[in-house]
Structures are given as C-alpha cells and as structure tokens.
C-alpha cells in the first residue's frame, strides 16, 4: 500500500524550501583548503617614529552570498560565479579582503564561488550532522510547526565558511541545534564557527568568528517563536566564544545577525555579547574611522543584518579604521546578492617589546 504524504497541507513555500535544501544536500562538499605556514605572505608592519609600538592592518569582509539553490532561488549561478571571479581578481591584484566571512553557502554554485575566490586557507562551518554543544536545552515555547519547516531534520549544514589569505592554524565550530531554531531556518544546521589566523610579523594570532542567526519574517513563524530561537542562539554563540577564544589575542565577530529593526533582539544579544560594535564606534566622527558608505540616522546598525564586533587582546589591540560596502551596485561592483558586502579594515597595534606568542608551526 502506498503511504500517504504525512503533511498533505504543507504550503508551497515550505515545499520550495525543503526541495531546495534537499537538492543542496546532494551537492558538492563545502570547500576546505589548508595553507602551510611557510607559504604565508608577510604582513606589512609599520613601526612608530618613537619606536615604542608597531601596527599592521587586517581587512575583514562579511558577505551573505544568497546561496540558496533552486527552486527557492532561480538563476543564481551566474551571479555566484561572478562573485567568485571578482573576489579572485581582487585577491590577485592585492586589493581583496584579507579574510572573508561567508554566509548562506548552500548551493553547489555558492560552494564553487567560495572555492573560486582562490583564497589559500578556507575553513567550513557546521555540517548537516554537526551536533550542538548545548544539546540538553528544553523545548521551545509553544508547539513545533512542521508545516513551517520544524521537522526535526537538518537537510544541509549552516552555510558558513571563513576564507583567509593568512594561515588558519586552529578552527572550531558549533551548531545551534533543533531546539534553538524556528520555522524554515530549522531546515539548515545554523551555527557559529572560529578560525584562528596568524599573520607573519604580528606577534599573536587573531580569533575570527562567523555566524548566521535565525531570521524573522522569513522563518514563517510567529515573532515570539523566532525571537526565542534568536535569543537561544545568542546564548549558544556566547558560550562557544567563551570556550574557544584566547583571551590574550584580539577577537573579531562578524556575520548575518538578523537583528535589523528589532530592538528586542538587540537587547537580548547585547546582554550576552559585551563586544564593541564597529558601526557604533565608526558613527562617531571623532573615532578616526573612515566611513566610505552611506549611513542614515544616528543608529545605522539598526538598518542592516550584516555586522562586525571586536575586542582587544592583552597587548595586541584592534580597532576599525575604515568601513565600506562591497558589491553594492556602485563603484565597488554590481549588486550580486540580496546583501551588500560589509568590509572593515582594522588596525592592529602592539608594543615593539611584546614577546611573540607561539603562532604557527612552532614559531
């Protein structure tokens, strides 16, 4: 006897999302690339006139690729291919970001775009089968919504990757899990990841984190339910950073945080992440941070999903000195995703007498 389809009233949008993610699950594996320490380029280092301190710069791009596959997205292959080609051309010309935080790398075309960027070090984020560290969380409030994607099944990984022109010497990842997601977001195994990079000439590594948090209206469930999922993810990300970060070195945390126009989400996230927000510092004209993008109002961070945060190490400090958009339809290139790239250039500073921390291959 033929078994009846278990969800006869599943709406078309849910079917589309399930179909897209199921197809993505059959695609190529996320790119993984390891860079030898002796292949790393030297970071340009400047010593102050008084000889007391030294500086270097590190540019970090946060970019959601809009990498859902067909039928959730149609005709994305050409744009994704162009993303990979443009990033590769910029990298070869010496004008590309030093580090890229990718989100929504689901489809085969999206994975190929990340690989085609040509970065010598690439670490992928949570896979479809990655188990959450906080697996003992209680049930979400209210009833599960299987017709909205809360099936208890992960079709694909979290869609995250970090690419770097410098070696990634350590990496770690964590999934948020089925009890920290809501709606259609539950079909992917969203989470958070760390890539610890080393820059020859800089005396300590830099810890770089990437995430993609639960959406709001796009999740297809109530604001209360997707809000609770987001709050749980904020806690899980905080716990992950506490377990994995090296307090002696600088930290940069970027990604698609899905907090645009939501004061509740901002309040909950800020409670667990006492980091400095790049937007909040750079909006101050006295900060010394050059703003090369259009910002409206006194709180431009409320108008975007794509953010970066930072924190100093014990001796090696970090601060943003320039922010700009990439692939926004202007001089930086055509708009190739439903997100613009958010590029931050940081200044790293340390005392010249700082003892170098063991960083790469026993250095």
CATH of the domain at 267: 3.60.10.10
Summarised one tens digit per residue, pLDDT across range 318-332 is 999 999 999 999 999
Name the CA radius of gyration of the chain, rounded.
Answer: 20
Residues 6+ positions from 9 with CB-CB distance below 8 Å:
147
Instruction: From residue 83, give the alpha-carbon distance in Å to each of 67, 198, 245.
Output: 11, 26, 31
pLDDT band at 10 (very low <50, low <70, confident <90, very high): very low
Do the beta carbons of residue 348 and residue 55 sit within 8 Å? yes
Report d(CA 303, CA 216) in Å as an integer: 14
Is residue 360 included in any domain, yes or no?
Answer: no
* pLDDT, average across residues 81-102: 97
In a domain, 146, yes or no: yes
- Per-residue tokens: 38: 């002796």
Q: Specify the pLDDT at position 5.
A: 35
Q: Where is 83: in which H helix or E strand? A: helix 77-93
- How far is 193 from 245, CA to CA, in rounded Å? 11
pLDDT one-digit tens code per residue, 97-147:
999 999 999 999 999 999 999 999 999 999 999 999 987 678 888 888 888
- Cα–Cα distances (Å) from 49 to 22, 54, 86, 226, 336, in that order, read 58, 10, 38, 53, 43
Residue 112 lies in a domain: yes
Q: Is the pLDDT of residue 149 over 80?
A: yes
- Per-residue pLDDT band for 22 (boundaries 50, 70, 90) equals low
Residue range of the domain that includes 204: 25-351
Any domain includes 11? no
Instruction: Read off the DSSP letter of residue 117.
Output: T
Is 62 contained in some domain?
Answer: yes
- 357 inside domain: no
The pLDDT-based confidence of 1 (bands split at 50, 70, 90) is: very low
Task: Give a yes or no: residue 4 inside a domain.
Answer: no
Q: What is the mean pLDDT of the chain?
A: 90
How many domains are contained in the chain?
A: 1
Q: Is 44 exposed, middle or buried (0-12, 13-18, 19+ CB in 10 A)?
A: exposed
**pLDDT above 60 for 183:** yes
The answer as to whether 7 is a domain residue is: no
pTM above 0.85, yes or no: yes
Helix/strand number for the chain, H first, E second: 6, 14
CB 311 within 8 A of CB 276: yes
* Cis check: omega of the bond before 153, within 30 degrees of 0: no
Low-confidence winner among 5-14, 155-164, 174-183 (lowest mean pLDDT) = 5-14
């Amino acid at each position: 006897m033929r078994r009846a389809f278990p969800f006869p009233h599943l709406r078309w949008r849910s079917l589309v999302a399930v179909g897209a993610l199921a197809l993505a699950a059959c695609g190529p594996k996320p790119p993984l690339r390891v860079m030898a320490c002796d292949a790393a380029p030297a970071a340009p280092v400047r010593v102050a006139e008084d000889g007391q301190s030294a500086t270097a710069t590190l540019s970090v791009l946060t970019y959601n690729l809009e990498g859902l596959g067909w039928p959730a997205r149609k005709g994305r292959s050409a744009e994704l291919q162009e993303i990979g080609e443009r990033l590769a051309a910029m990298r070869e010309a010496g004008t590309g970001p030093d580090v890229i935080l990718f989100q929504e790398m689901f489809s085969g075309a999206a994975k190929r775009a990340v690989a085609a960027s040509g970065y010598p070090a690439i670490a992928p984020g949570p896979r479809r089968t990655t188990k959450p560290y906080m697996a003992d969380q209680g049930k979400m409030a209210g009833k599960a919504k299987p017709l909205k994607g809360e099936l208890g099944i992960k079709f694909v990984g979290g869609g995250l990757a970090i690419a770097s022109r410098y070696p990634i010497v350590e990496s770690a990842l964590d999934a948020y899990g089925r009890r920290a997601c809501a709606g259609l977001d539950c079909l992917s195994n969203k989470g958070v990841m760390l890539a610890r990079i080393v820059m020859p000439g800089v005396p300590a590594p830099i810890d770089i984190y990437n995430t993609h948090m639960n959406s709001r209206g796009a999740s297809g469930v109530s604001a209360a339910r997707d809000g609770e999922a987001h709050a749980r993810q904020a806690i899980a990300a905080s716990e992950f950073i506490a377990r994995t970060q090296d307090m002696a070195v600088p930290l940069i945390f970027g990604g698609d945080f899905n907090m645009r126009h939501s004061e509740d989400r901002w309040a909950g996230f800020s409670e667990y992440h006492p980091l400095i927000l790049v937007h909040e510092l750079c909006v101050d004209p006295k900060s010394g941070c050059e703003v090369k993008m259009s910002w409206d109002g006194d709180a431009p961070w409320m108008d975007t999903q794509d953010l970066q945060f930072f924190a100093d190490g014990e001796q090696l400090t970090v601060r943003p000195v320039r922010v700009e958009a990439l692939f926004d339809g202007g001089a930086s290139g055509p708009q190739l995703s439903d997100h613009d790239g958010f590029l931050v250039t940081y200044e790293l500073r340390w005392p010249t007498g700082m003892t170098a921390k063991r960083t790469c291959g026993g250095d």
